[in-house]
A and B are shown apart, each in its own frame.
With several copies, the nearest count.
Chain A
């Protein structure tokens, strides 16, 4: 099981029956396939609907995800315009958003939309999602490809939003973000707290109730 799948499987356990969920591009889109069978969620898509589903059969006119790629819809889906879509997003009507991250810091700040001089794709709907969703889960690999920490004291990349991250889930550990900073809740089997400290620039508390990361399979 690669890092991405470990993360996606663990994120799936964060979702509750009936949740309205918006998934960012990349890793987060893997989450639904790991949902427990008794958990049914409704996916919101920024371009204007509730009830996104995987494509089954031929693409149908206008049924595309926010990336313009054909997708399916659940029975009971509803379409609307972009103003309504972001009324839902900013207005607290999305229970959970799962987003990739470049950096998260102790204040719950997230940077995930821009690397100055390298990648300036635009923030799309990410700033609104992070500002508005009830719960913001960042799903990212613990370190960069070059081994640099992503859980930092203070983000040094341009922020997506301030103080909005609820949880960070990596292939090594699960943290919540409290008013006092990161709290380590779970570690993956075989990973020591020391190892996590080495790979984490940010300080973190250790939950009294620390557990092994459950991996549903």
Chain B
């Protein structure tokens, strides 16, 4: 399977109504070229799953601004006033999930687990609609797995087999979402020959990566 693709091939990988997990914290670690390709593709009714909605012009923000998302599942939206406005106007469904629960739900979805028990959110609005279980005398919420149709990843480097290396805090959600989607696309700063990355330094094994595209103007 040919993993390395051209930018023109990216847009057609998405269709209306798909769910997309994205890497990044306030845009750092978000594949900005893929976000641009999504805007150009004009796909609509997207469900976006990631840490936050960044700001109107950073990270995943432009996809909120463009009205292409109908739902977001994130841990906070406070830094992007557009998200709040669209939510209040009824144009965007916002599901807020505690950050640790969100990443763990994604990990569960990618790891074949049926869910997990977390103390986070017990006694708060986060427990609404959830089963509570007591284990070893402590109360927990049962949180269920989360998967997506596509994961869009930003890495510093890929080898031709798709092994990825992230840089500093740009790692964040990226290695975890690589486990939890049917199609996994990585935008990278550079591609090196297979064998150039020490097998101990690989952060996401190439087996998880379906497509690789090199950052424009990289």
Contacts and interface: CB of A to CB of B under 8 A. Distances in A.
Interface of A: 17-18, 20, 42, 44-51, 60-68, 73, 75-83, 85-93, 109, 114, 119-128, 131-132, 158-163
A81 B172 contact: yes
B103 interface: yes
B199 A77 contact: yes
Interface string B75-115: 11111000010010000000010111101100100111100
Contact of A162 (B26, B123, B171): B123
Contacts of A127: 98, 100-101, 120-121, 124, 126
Contacts of B123: 109, 159, 161-163
B168 A79 contact: yes
Contacts of B194: 75-76
Contacts of B120: 90, 127-128, 131-132, 161
B216 interface: no
Contacts of A75: 194-195
Interface stretch (B4-12, B33-41, B129-137, B203-211): B203-211
B199 A122 contact: no
A91 B207 CA distance: 13
B167 interface: yes
Given A78-B163, A122-B75, A132-B120, A83 B176 contact: yes
B98 A82 contact: no
Interface string B176-200: 1001000000000000001100011
A79 B200 contact: yes
Q: How large is the interface on B (under 10, 10 to 19, 20 to 34, 35 or more residues)?
A: 35 or more
A18 B1 contact: yes
Contact of B124 (A48, A51, A65, A160): A160
Contact of B195 (A76, A119, A122, A126): A76
Contacts of A161: 120-124
Contacts of B163: 76, 78
A162 B118 CA distance: 14
A64 B52 CA distance: 15
21 contacts: A46-B99, A47-B25, A47-B51, A61-B167, A67-B26, A68-B54, A73-B168, A76-B163, A79-B199, A83-B176, A89-B100, A90-B100, A90-B119, A91-B112, A91-B179, A121-B77, A122-B52, A122-B78, A124-B99, A132-B119, A132-B120
A120 B83 CA distance: 11
A120 B160 CA distance: 44
Given A87-B111, A132-B120, 11 more contacts: A64-B26, A64-B169, A76-B159, A76-B194, A76-B206, A85-B172, A123-B99, A124-B98, A131-B112, A131-B122, A161-B122
A89 B207 CA distance: 12
B29 interface: yes
Given A63-B169, A78-B163, A81-B173, A128 B100 contact: yes
B125 A158 contact: yes
Nearest to A51: B199
A166 to B, nearest CB: 16
A78 B169 CA distance: 10
